[in-house]
Amino acid sequence: MKLIQRTSSILGAAFLLSMASTAACAVEETPMSIPGGSYVTTAQAKALFDSGALFIDSRVPAEHAEEHIKGAVSVVYREKHSRVSTIDPEDRMDMSKLPADKAAPLVFYCNGSPCWRGYKGAAMAIKEGYSAVHWYRDGIPAWKAAGHPVE
């Protein structure tokens, strides 16, 4: 009987540990909207690209160097919590790399959902007063799949 109780306790502890590690690795999907800005589809992003909007690659420098949407500027969103919606006070983005004209159309992107860097970068730009902020949720994977230019 004691062996059964002990085995049951061990299995229970293992189950709880497994559940805790699963929760710690949870990934949040990005939303289909952004307050104060606009969510754009691949077709809308391409139309903005064709009209001269500035594309902002919020991914890390190595990803940008490997491949990015043609003409995109690398403005890394440095986040404390990746793959979740949490915006931490320690998160950073070099706002000096954005245009002085806060009405200039900007399109933020990253690696598609569940990458939050593009969303968080767009949210930070909106917070700083940029008024034509577009968030391309599907990012570079969808852009490439559509055959649009990368470099």
Per-residue pLDDT of 26-39, as tens digits, reads 678 888 899 999 99
Instruction: Give yes or no for residue 131 having a pLDDT over 50.
Output: yes
Q: How confident is the model at residue 83 (pLDDT cuts 50, 70, 90)?
A: low
Instruction: Give yes or no for residue 6 having a pLDDT over 50.
Output: no
Biggest CA–CA distance in the chain, Å, is 75
Are the C-beta atoms of 109 and 69 separated by less than 8 Å? yes
The alpha carbon of residue 10 and the mean position of all alpha carbons in its chain are separated, in whole angstroms, by 39
Is residue 150 helix, strand or coil? Answer: strand
Backbone angles phi, psi at 101, to 5 degrees: -75, 105
Greater confidence, 30 or 23? 30
Question: What is the average pLDDT across 115-124?
Answer: 92
Instruction: Give yes or no for residue 11 having a pLDDT over 80.
Output: no
**Residue 113: which of 26, 25, 27, 30 has the closest Cα?**
30
- The 10 Å Cβ neighbour count of residue 28 is 13
Pull the structure tokens for residue 59: 């991914």
| R_g (Cα) of the chain, nearest Å | 20
Question: What is the average pLDDT across 107-114?
Answer: 92
User: What domains, with CATH codes, occur in the chain?
Assistant: 29-145 (3.40.250.10)
- For residue 77, the cross-strand partners are 93
Q: Give dist(CA 108, CA 43) in Å, integer.
A: 15
Between the CA atoms of 119, 122, 123 and 125, what dihedral angle is there, to the nearest 10 degrees? Answer: 160
Pull the structure tokens for residue 100: 């002085």
Question: What is the average pLDDT across 33-52?
Answer: 97
Q: Give dist(CA 78, CA 97) in Å, integer.
A: 14
